[in-house]
């Protein structure tokens, strides 16, 4: 075989290997996303979860798809601040343990990113305080949604924001206005069911106006 032919074959082999490596390192982005719908007595809240916080996204989707969140409540609501839910304890008949979580539950490592802030409708992970949790690891299931229309910027950099409400902000407001008793727990249980469906990103943008980064 002539030298020029050999060189041509080597070049093609190199190009094929390069393309394969690039595909492995930079996989093609999916054209679909998981649309999460939280159904409550006040209405439906729809949200998306960020790919840039993969641990939190995977954890939430796993719990939602397993039915874990069904029957849990928004156990803590504070007007002009946030609504919090997702604790398995809120499924039982004892309101005093709502929000306590399980003592042996595994935490999720923090994925705090500066581009995701506590704006209106931000979905973030609850956690224990810095004194016992200096790594700011997140609760295994509890989350909150920012209800303040101006956001809660004082929480930026301290909690992992891993999603955004794209429809149903008025429902978040209704929940925040419910009468509460001790520890900001609603007098009437605000139970949720959560479902996940794969939807084309283009359709999500068309229906809800959400722009992917």
> Per-residue pLDDT tens for 177-205?
999 988 899 999 999 999 999 999 999 99
Task: Give per-residue pLDDT as tens, 23-66.
Answer: 445 556 789 999 999 999 999 999 999 999 999 999 999 999 99
In a domain, 99, yes or no: no
117 CB neighbour count, 10 Å cutoff:
16
90 CB neighbour count, 10 Å cutoff:
25
In a domain, 194, yes or no: yes
In a domain, 117, yes or no: yes
Q: Report the predicted TM-score, pTM, of the whole model to 2 decimal places.
A: 0.84
Number of domains in the chain: 1
CATH of the domain at 165: 2.40.100.10
Residue-by-residue DSSP string for 36-49 = EEEEETTEEEEEEE
| Residue 53: C-alpha distances to residues 50, 67, 98, 113, 207 (Å) | 6, 22, 26, 8, 24
pLDDT at 129 over 60: yes
Domain that holds residue 168: 32-88+107-208
In a domain, 62, yes or no: yes
- Structure tokens that stand for 93 in this block: 């008949």
In a domain, 20, yes or no: no
In a domain, 171, yes or no: yes
- Structure tokens that stand for 30 in this block: 């999916």
**Which phi-psi region, left, alpha or beta, contains residue 212 (left: φ > 0; alpha: ψ -120 to 50)?**
beta
């Amino acid at each position: 075989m002539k030298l020029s032919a050999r060189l041509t074959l080597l070049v093609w082999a190199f190009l094929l290997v390069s393309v394969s490596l690039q595909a492995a390192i930079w996989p093609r982005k999916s054209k679909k996303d998981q649309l999460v719908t939280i159904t409550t007595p006040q209405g439906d809240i729809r949200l998306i979860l960020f790919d840039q916080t993969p641990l939190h996204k995977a954890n939430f989707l796993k719990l939602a798809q397993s039915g874990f969140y069904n029957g849990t409540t928004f156990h803590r609501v504070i007007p002009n601040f946030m609504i919090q839910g997702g604790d398995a304890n809120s499924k039982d008949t004892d309101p005093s343990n709502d929000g306590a979580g399980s003592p042996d539950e595994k935490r999720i490592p923090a994925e705090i990113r500066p581009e995701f802030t506590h704006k209106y409708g931000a979905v973030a992970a609850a956690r224990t305080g810095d004194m016992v949790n200096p790594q700011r690891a997140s609760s295994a299931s509890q989350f909150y949604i920012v209800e303040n229309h101006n956001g809660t910027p004082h929480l930026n950099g301290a909690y992992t924001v891993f999603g955004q409400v794209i429809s149903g902000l008025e429902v978040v407001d209704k929940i925040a206005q419910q009468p509460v008793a001790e520890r900001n727990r609603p007098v009437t249980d605000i139970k949720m069911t959560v479902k996940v469906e794969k939807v084309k990103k283009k359709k999500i943008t068309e229906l809800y106006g959400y722009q992917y980064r």
